[in-house]
A and B are shown apart, each in its own frame.
Chain A
Amino acid sequence: EDQVTQSPEALRLQEGESSSLNCSYTVSGLRGLFWYRQDPGKGPEFLFTLYSAGEEKEKERLKATLTKKESFLHITAPKPEDSATYLCAVQENTGNQFYFGTGTSLTVIP
């Protein structure tokens, strides 16, 4: 059973059209949830860490939120340079592994 599920798999937005990406997880005890951005041919770039339900983090046009079962990455008024794959990862409080989702491929059209 997948511990982390991301949706949608792909998302196309017009520049300025706000939307949200979803990451749902099934680990029994969450130590942390991490959001990364990955550009083609590059390694994932860290964006946010969330540790407890109700927590929110913001950076420029991105805002990450966390509930007990899922996290959302909200993108406000996106620009073409926000186009990338966004990955979510969770770390259980009983181990050292990080479980990644398959990502959401975001394309922002000028």
Chain B
Amino acid sequence: GAGVSQTPSNKVTEKGKYVELRCDPISGHTALYWYRQSLGQGPEFLIYFQGTGAADDSGLPNDRFFAVRPEGSVSTLKIQRTERGDSAVYLCASSLTPNQPQHFGDGTRLSIL
């Protein structure tokens, strides 16, 4: 059985560019989470989807960050006008229901030059 898949595994881009990060959750998992993890830190919550809707986006740092999950499965995290401070590992997790343990992908390592 496939786990959570994230693509690309690495992304290097220049300051000011637009990036999209993709997450393919475990089949049947209704809850999907995005986190950001900086070196030596724990994952920091960004946004939570239940089905197609963003049930909690309170962790998004500003309006340059946006995420969608149009069909209730694959999700895309979009970052506009990237800044060097956006450099981090972006993790996606899914769970069968919101109260169940989350299963994580291996993340996308984003580097903004």
Contacts and interface: CB of A to CB of B under 8 A. Distances in A.
Decide if A and B are genuine partners: yes
Which of A36, A43, A87 gathers the greatest number of chain B CB atoms within 10 Å? A43
Contact of B42 (A42, A95, A97, A101): A101
A42 B108 CA distance: 10
B56 A97 contact: yes
Contact of B101 (A49, A96, A101): A49
Interface of A is mostly: strand
Nearest to A95: B56
B99 A32 contact: yes
A43 B104 CA distance: 5
Contacts of A91: 99
B107 A43 contact: yes
A45 to B, nearest CB: 7
B103 A46 contact: yes
Contacts, number: 53
Nearest to A4: B42
B92 to A, nearest CB: 8
Interface string A44-68: 1110010000000000000000000
Given A34-B102, A97-B48, 13 more contacts: A4-B42, A34-B101, A36-B104, A43-B91, A89-B42, A89-B43, A96-B48, A96-B50, A96-B98, A97-B58, A100-B43, A102-B40, A102-B42
9 cross-chain pairs, A with B, having the tightest CB-CB distances, nearest first: A43-B104, A100-B42, A46-B101, A43-B106, A100-B43, A44-B104, A97-B45, A102-B42, A96-B48
